[in-house]
Structure 1
Amino acid sequence: MRLLYSLLWWLALPLVLGRLWWRGRREPGYRQHLGERLGFYGPKPGPDRQLKRTIMVHAVSVGETRAAEPLVEALLREWPACRILLTHMTPTGRATGKALFGKHGDRVVQSFLPYDTGFMVGRFLRHFEPSICILMETEVWPNLVAVCDRYEVPVALVNARLSERSLRRGKQFGGLMMEAARGITLAAAQTEADAARIASLGAPEVAVTGSIKFDVVPPESALQAGAMLRSRFVERPVLLCASTREGEEALILDAWRALAADLANKPPGMLLLLVPRHPQRFDEVARMVEERGLSLARRSALPERVDADVLLGDSMGEMFAYYAACDCAFIGGSLMPLGGQNLIEACAVGKPVLVGEHTFNFLQATDEAVGAGAALRVPDAGALMSEAARLLGDGAARARMGEQALAFAGRHRGATARTVELLRQLIA
């Protein structure tokens, strides 16, 4: 199965590179560092007497990179003679890593992970010589795991999650994914359900550590940036729709227009702060706003006073600032069957949270937040706007949900420390 998988990778490579080049039209980062994606690098780094080992952490994109922040910081503290090799698959993930960890200088090195062929992965491992390969959340690549085993590099899957849908998909590939699961030395799962599903694929050692995302602390600089944004809104009540995905913005904007016509229920001056998950869609979403006759302002050209109907959050790395600037937050990816996004950051800033019905990628955290009174589920965009209008018009209800959100986030901290303790057996 793995030979067939590798052959398919080689056959698909021209299409993969073509798609990469095509995406680079709107996001130039996809056309940079192409050699790294194929396993080709510059001169091999010379030995450093102070940095005696390299710990690889693979965080595929923005969400995983931000989630990895507490773990990377803990690894740097616990092993002061280590270098972190932080790998990604998207340029936005790489940019986020640079923003978060650039302060550490040569102790954090970044690279794209090569495509999953034995040849490319082998070149990658020989070049960087990591002493351990740490994969974040769901990023299990069969050839990467197999080649790590060949080079005696232990593989740890941390902050691991596996939905029922992903488990069914994995079992469709039978031996391929089960071989990869058996090659994982250690899996640190977010929940008992995740652990059971990962173990059912054949992973030999699975523990439950909780979600590292609860250990992400809002930076003071982000809270200050949020306060600056808030000052531009004057006294307007603000609904943030965060990390929205394709198809959701149209639903949200149509519901927003319907609410605007309902003067009896719309809070005066209500502002919609809309932040698409993928930066290549910023201009597309801006056109959608204008096509509906709504006035638009953009974060990248922020006026002194935001009087527009919609403020487009067309910036990277400011999600904590957006949460700090809003009165309540809807978490995207959940109005449509896309699995939802992480609501923990909004809770950590103490904001009431709204989510749709489709949260299977973060099911337990979302269900627990709803049960704790920190979040509310809504069936559709119309209900989203109705609940948002209700909350924005009821300061006591908002304050109560915000307090429950902070308490919910605080109760679940500690996963980073538990994960580091598990990793000690693999980091000599």
Structure 2
Amino acid sequence: MIYQLLIRLFSPFICLLITKDSIKKQGGGNFIKQRLGLDYPALPQVSQRIWIHCASVGEVKAAEPLIRALESTHHILVTTNTPTGKQQISNLFQNKVDHCYLPLDWPFAIKHFLRNCLPTECWIVETEIWPNLYRICAQHAIPLSIINGRLSPKTLNAPSWLKKSYQQSLLKVNKILARSQTEADRFIALGAPPHIVTVLGNLKYAQIQAVPHASNPMPRDYVLLASSHHDEELHIAQQWKNLQRPELLVIVPRHPNRSEAIQKQLLSLFPDLKIASKNQHPNAMTTLFLDDRMSKLMPLFEHAKLVIMGGSFVSKGGHNILEPATYQKAIITGSNMSDFIEEMALLQNHSGIIQCQNVQALSKILPPLLNDQKQRQILGKNAFKAIQTQQSILQDYLNQLL
């Protein structure tokens, strides 16, 4: 009751936020209208349309192997919450799958979406629990599964009224395919019936089976700082400047719309900073290159001399270390990898990753590693061997879902 009251009470404020978000992220009119539950394309009725919801870029990447396995034989509709998620879908699949933005959790919006898009089943990637969406799917006899399921500890610490809404929602779910036993236990603690919860492992391990290859996008050796967040760029760039290394430092922020703020921080330190969105290119004298474009990480992973994973030197929880591991790269993270505990444990158990306690530690770790090609190769091969142990993941998911 409290949840239903709040989403109605705050609806004018939510509309303003959606409009602001559209302007900030260049989502356009479709983003606003579809998030508000309006103007969905009328998709043709088919015997089976699998609706896969991916909140944003990370979830799209997690679901990519699953979508690729099904795109030629099934009708696929992918929903996202963000324009960057939509862009990722477009880059990966062109017109092979349909895309819409997920409506906000208003009953009229969800019903309008279902009437137009006509899904026959719904797969939620990872973590989103929307009480009205789950309830209305059950009312329309649309089976709902949570795949690659995970829950943050803060979800378990939500107010009692919200936890009750979550519990009621989980009773409407047909299957929860969790990525670890820890996550399975969290779903059960939140109220999921134990018999619907199965531990299958992290779907991101399946990316090893379809890793793309591309030519080297940089003219010289480089170190990659991937998926960085606020303050990481500045602090890591300061360490890099002090090292006076011959390699180029390439920074790819997690959110490219932060580019202007990053430029303001870095230009005083690096007058020779080159910026991709300004069509600038690094040369032999460039110290730092800011690649603020979407969907450019994979070729950069493939050819980097070493990868520093962002989101781990701040209170974010890290980002996907499996992608550079598929390219057999030496990987360094910070101390905060709380969103990837199992992945870290897997790579650490195979001596395939280096975790440092703070940014300052990079000044001691980077020089010997960059000077030792053999050690970098050993780290990369160990990381690759670790994820090879998980090769059955994709088929395990397909067996459960189809």
Which category of TM-score, normalised to the shorter sequence, fits these structures?
A: over 0.9
Answer yes or no: is 1:67 the counterpart of 2:62. Answer: yes
Aligned equivalents of 1:150 and 1:24: distance in 2? 31
Match runs of 1:18-29 below 5 Å: 18-29=16-27
Match runs of 1:355-366 below 5 Å: 355-366=333-344
User: What is residue 264 of structure 1 aligned with on the other side?
Assistant: none
User: What is residue 153 of structure 2 aligned with on the other side?
Assistant: 164
Structure 1 range deviating more: 198-207 or 58-67: 198-207
Aligned-residue sequence identity (percent) comes to 27
Instruction: Show CA shifts across 1:192-228 (max 9, x none).
Output: 11111112222230111111111114867x5323x2x
Residue 210 of structure 1 is aligned with which of 187, 194, 201? 201
Tell me, yes or no, if the aligned pair for 1:163 and 1:360 is still in contact at 8 Å: no
Paired AA for residue 88 in structure 1: T
Tell me, yes or no, if the aligned pair for 2:22 and 2:31 is still in contact at 8 Å: no
User: What is residue 344 of structure 1 aligned with on the other side?
Assistant: 322
User: What is residue 79 of structure 2 aligned with on the other side?
Assistant: 87
Counterpart of 1:291 in 2: which secondary structure?
coil
Aligned equivalents of 2:327 and 2:131: distance in 1? 38
CA spacing shift, 1:317–1:120, aligned 2, 3 Å: same
Name the count of aligned residue pairs. Answer: 399
User: What is residue 214 of structure 2 aligned with on the other side?
Assistant: 224
Aligned equivalents of 1:321 and 1:103: distance in 2? 22
Paired AA for residue 282 in structure 1: S
Paired AA for residue 245 in structure 1: H
Paired AA for residue 254 in structure 1: Q
Structure 1 range deviating more: 199-208 or 30-39: 30-39
Counterpart of 1:32 in 2: which secondary structure?
helix
Paired AA for residue 147 in structure 2: V
Shift of 1:52: 2.3
Tell me, yes or no, if the aligned pair for 1:218 and 1:320 is still in contact at 8 Å: no
Instruction: Show CA shifts across 1:237-295 (max 9, x none).
Output: x22110011122222122223333xxxxxx4x122111100011122212221022442
Aligned equivalents of 1:419 and 1:219: distance in 2? 16
User: What is residue 400 of structure 2 aligned with on the other side?
Assistant: 422
Counterpart of 1:216 in 2: which secondary structure?
helix
TM-score, with structure 1 as normaliser: 0.88
Shift of 1:113: 0.4
Paired AA for residue 357 in structure 1: S
User: What is residue 173 of structure 2 aligned with on the other side?
Assistant: 184
Paired AA for residue 94 in structure 1: K
Answer yes or no: is 1:256 the counterpart of 2:251. Answer: no
Shift of 1:172: 7.1
Instruction: Show CA shifts across 1:155-195 (max 9, x none).
Output: 10001112334333376733111111222110111111111
Residue 292 of structure 1 is aligned with which of 261, 269, 281? 269
User: What is residue 132 of structure 1 aligned with on the other side?
Assistant: 121
TM-score, with structure 2 as normaliser: 0.93
Paired AA for residue 272 in structure 1: L
CA spacing shift, 1:39–1:32, aligned 2, 3 Å: closer
Residue 30 of structure 2 is aligned with which of 29, 32, 41? 32
Counterpart of 1:176 in 2: which secondary structure?
helix
Aligned equivalents of 1:345 and 1:184: distance in 2? 30
User: What is residue 358 of structure 2 aligned with on the other side?
Assistant: 380
Residue 246 of structure 1 is aligned with which of 214, 230, 233? 230
Structure 1 range deviating more: 59-68 or 166-175: 166-175
Shift of 1:147: 0.9
Tell me, yes or no, if the aligned pair for 2:282 and 2:289 is still in contact at 8 Å: no
User: What is residue 323 of structure 1 aligned with on the other side?
Assistant: 301
Instruction: Show CA shifts across 1:120-177 (max 9, x none).
Output: 1122122222111100011121111111111111110001112334333376733111
Structure 1 range deviating more: 238-247 or 6-15: 6-15
Counterpart of 1:354 in 2: which secondary structure?
strand
Aligned equivalents of 1:239 and 1:148: distance in 2? 46
Aligned equivalents of 1:308 and 1:423: distance in 2? 49
Aligned equivalents of 1:4 and 1:281: distance in 2? 35
Shift of 1:115: 0.3
CA spacing shift, 1:298–1:137, aligned 2, 3 Å: same
Aligned equivalents of 2:367 and 2:379: distance in 1? 15
Shift of 1:17: 2.5
Shift of 1:400: 0.6
CA spacing shift, 1:42–1:335, aligned 2, 3 Å: closer
Structure 1 range deviating more: 374-383 or 294-303: 294-303
Structure 1 range deviating more: 382-391 or 116-125: 382-391
**Structure 1, unaligned runs of 5 or more:** 261-266
CA spacing shift, 1:364–1:7, aligned 2, 3 Å: same
Paired AA for residue 87 in structure 1: T
Answer yes or no: is 1:391 the counterpart of 2:383. Answer: no
**Structure 2, unaligned runs of 5 or more:** none
CA spacing shift, 1:251–1:125, aligned 2, 3 Å: same
